[in-house]
């Protein structure tokens, strides 16, 4: 938007990019223009959204770190009112809590995730299919790790690792820590994607927690 001057049609790699609402990109572009550090500006809007989300929920911590020309890390920590086993089960029920707007088909019902090594986080609709990520490490009720670059990251040849770590505090419930590490070429423009990725992954984690605790990805 800043480069083209078109504030209504966001583009990425010279292609239209409407994976997120236009308002999100407009706010992010405005922050980048207003703040002297473009990377800080890119993260300002999702950071604010995370802060507001944390104010509405309990035990929520979100952070974007290690932003550099070759990658970034986003981390989310939630205190979940459910057992680690229930959280583990819910990971495999991804079609129940993932937002379909963050899929190629637009329908979460087309998503599957097999929670075992080699398992596929896949999407299938009609004659079409996408491998979003592959499970590379699975420890039941404790940890699930996937390798895969989601959304626009896939076309950038980036290497991305997502880890769901589950811990059982002494006072009950589950401490869920989700980390997404992205690395790639300096020419991929990864720092500019740190904010949008932070916002997209943070939304899915909040929906997962809500689904586990209430049976619905959107809290009533």
CATH code of 210's domain: 3.30.530.20
Could you give the residue ranges of the DSSP H alpha helices within 61-109? 84-91, 94-97
The answer to whether residue 209 is domain-embedded is yes
C-alpha to C-alpha distances, 106 to 97, 100, 125, 157, nearest whole angstrom: 13, 5, 10, 23
The neighbour count for residue 196, using CB atoms within 10 Å, is 23
> What whole-number distance in Å separates Cα of residue 211 and Cα of residue 205?
10
The answer to whether residue 62 is domain-embedded is yes
Q: Residue 150: what pLDDT?
A: 95
The answer to whether residue 53 is domain-embedded is yes
C-alpha to C-alpha distances, 93 to 38, 137, 141, 154, 204, nearest whole angstrom: 37, 18, 14, 23, 13
Total domain count for the chain? Answer: 1
The answer to whether residue 77 is domain-embedded is yes
For residue 94, the enclosing domain spans 38-214
> Mean of the pLDDT values across residues 158-172?
95
Q: How many residues does the chain have?
A: 220
The answer to whether residue 189 is domain-embedded is yes
Q: Residue 113: what pLDDT?
A: 98
Q: Residue 171: what pLDDT?
A: 86
Q: Residue 147: what pLDDT?
A: 98
pLDDT digits (tens, 9 = 90+) for 57-115: 455 667 778 899 999 999 999 999 999 999 999 999 999 999 999 999 999 999 999 99
Name the token pair of 10.
Answer: 């966001």
Q: Residue 170: what pLDDT?
A: 85
pLDDT digits (tens, 9 = 90+) for 106-153: 999 999 999 999 999 999 999 999 999 999 999 999 999 999 999 989
> What whole-number distance in Å separates Cα of residue 193 and Cα of residue 43?
9
CA–CA–CA angle 218, 26, 184 (5° rounding): 85
Contacts 24+ apart (CB under 8 A), 169-174: 169/79, 173/79, 173/80, 173/81, 173/82, 173/83, 174/79, 174/80, 174/82, 174/83, 174/84, 174/86, 174/87
> Mean of the pLDDT values across residues 160-165?
98
Q: Residue 53: what pLDDT?
A: 47
C-alpha to C-alpha distances, 3 to 29, 33, 39, 46, nearest whole angstrom: 10, 11, 15, 21
What is the side-by-side strand order in the sheet with 60-68? 60-68, 71-80, 174-183, 159-167, 143-147, 128-139, 120-125, 111-113
**Are 202 and 50 contacting, i.e. CB atoms less than 8 angstroms apart?**
yes
The answer to whether residue 121 is domain-embedded is yes
The answer to whether residue 15 is domain-embedded is no
Q: Residue 64: what pLDDT?
A: 79
The answer to whether residue 186 is domain-embedded is yes
Chain-wide mean pLDDT for the chain?
84
């Amino acid at each position: 938007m800043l480069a083209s001057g078109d504030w209504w049609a966001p583009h990425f790699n010279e292609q239209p990019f409407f994976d997120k609402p236009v308002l999100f990109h407009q706010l992010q572009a405005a922050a980048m223009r207003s703040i002297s550090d473009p990377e800080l500006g890119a993260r300002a809007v999702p950071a604010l959204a995370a802060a507001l989300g944390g104010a509405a929920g309990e035990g929520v911590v979100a952070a974007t770190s290690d932003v550099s020309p070759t990658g970034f890390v986003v981390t989310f920590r939630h205190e979940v009112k459910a057992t680690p086993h229930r959280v583990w089960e819910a990971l495999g029920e991804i079609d129940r809590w993932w937002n379909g707007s963050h899929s190629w088909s637009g329908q979460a019902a087309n998503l599957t995730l097999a929670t075992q090594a080699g398992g596929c986080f896949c999407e299938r609709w009609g004659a079409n299919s996408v491998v979003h990520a592959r499970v590379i490490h699975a420890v039941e009720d404790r940890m699930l790790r996937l390798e895969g670059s989601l959304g626009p990251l896939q076309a950038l040849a980036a290497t991305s690792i997502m880890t769901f770590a589950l811990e059982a505090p002494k006072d009950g419930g589950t401490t869920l820590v989700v980390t997404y590490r992205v690395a790639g070429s300096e020419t991929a423009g990864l720092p500019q994607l740190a904010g949008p990725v932070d916002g997209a992954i943070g939304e899915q984690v909040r929906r997962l927690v809500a689904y586990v605790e209430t049976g619905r990805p959107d809290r009533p």
